[in-house]
Amino acid sequence: MDRSRRSEGHAYRAGSFQRLTRELACETAVAISYNGSSHAVLMATPSDLEDLALGFTLSEGIARQNQIERIEVVETPLGADVQVWLTEEAADTLAKRRRALAGPVGCGMCGLESIEAAMRHVPDVASTLRLRPGQIVEAVARMERGQELNRLTRAVHAAGFYDPATGSVIVREDAGRHNAMDKLIGSRARTTGGVPAEIFAGGAVVMSSRLSIELVQKAAIAGCGILIAVSAPTSLAVSAAENAGMTLVALARGAEFDIYTRPDRIIDGVMPDVA
């Protein structure tokens, strides 16, 4: 399935109209089904859909990776159906706590049946990762360089995993920031084996978007010790990060950034006396 499509229109420039040709990010309905039964419908960029389904399954606590037998992507006239086949044990557990999602692009909370489900507890993050200020700057810069689809369309978010040992960043893009995070979780899970607390071990997560509570929840479940974003966090995101023991860095642009929680993980910088 195409990630982008060319479109023609008109541009108003310097007081006059001219013909315009632009590449637009594709967006399609993606159904995630478990053992033949539709569970969630997401509006997503049609790329890395197996990663999306795997990451969604893990970050939502639907099943462990060793309970997933296979994942198949089936294209349909209306979009894509990502079929996830679970073990009998996992399928039975899911049947007891089903929920359905059907929302706009990257809707992280749509369709939840209760406030308690939306405000779910996240595990404490047991991360020993430490980063220098220069590594945060490097992480953001390399994530931005990896945003190939966004350079083409200026319409998608990115989630990146920064490895401080190599300086490399794995990037996943999507029209929805929650989808981008799930794609990254799925991609990393294939490397780490999917043990939730180890998915983001040894590195930091970088987001091209603002930080909401859902992103903090997903990152914490995957063992993220340091979460970095180029835009600001919400108050609930900061509270969730603090409760999980996660370092939350935001407004990371150029050589500047703000630290909202657990500043002890950012070393070699002079912290102000807040006593």
pLDDT tens-place string over residues 116-162: 666 677 889 999 999 999 999 999 999 999 999 999 999 999 999 99
Please tell me the pTM assigned to this model. Answer: 0.91
Return the structure tokens found at 29.
């309905």
Active site annotation includes 110 = no
Residue 259 has pLDDT above 70, yes or no: yes
Half-sphere exposure in the Cβ direction for 161 (13 Å, CA): 26
- pLDDT for 36-52, tens place per residue? 999 999 999 999 999 99
Question: Catalytic pick from 26, 107, 110, 224?
Answer: 107
What residue ranges define each of the domains in the chain, with the CATH number in brackets?
28-118 (3.10.20.10), 133-265 (3.40.140.10)
State yes or no: pLDDT of 107 exceeds 60: no
What pLDDT score does 94 carry? 93
Q: Name residue, tokens 């990371």.
A: 252
The token pair at 93 is 């557990």
What was the pLDDT predicted at 96? 84
Nearest-angstrom CA–CA distance, 146 and 116: 37
Per-residue 3-state assignment (H helix, E strand, C coil) for the chain: CCCEEEEEEEEEECCEEEEEEEEEECCEEEEEEECCEEEEEEEECCCCHHHHHHHHHHHCCCCCHHHEEEEEEEEECCEEEEEEEECHHHHHHHHHCCCCEECCCCCCCCCCCCHHHHCCCCCCCCCCCCECHHHHHHHHHHHHHCCHHHHHHCCCEEEEEEECCCCEEEEEEECCHHHHHHHHHHHHHHHHCCCHHHCCCCCEEEECCCECHHHHHHHHHCCCCEEEECCCECHHHHHHHHHHCCEEEEEEECCEEEEEECHHHECCCCCCCCC
118 or 247, which is more confident? 247
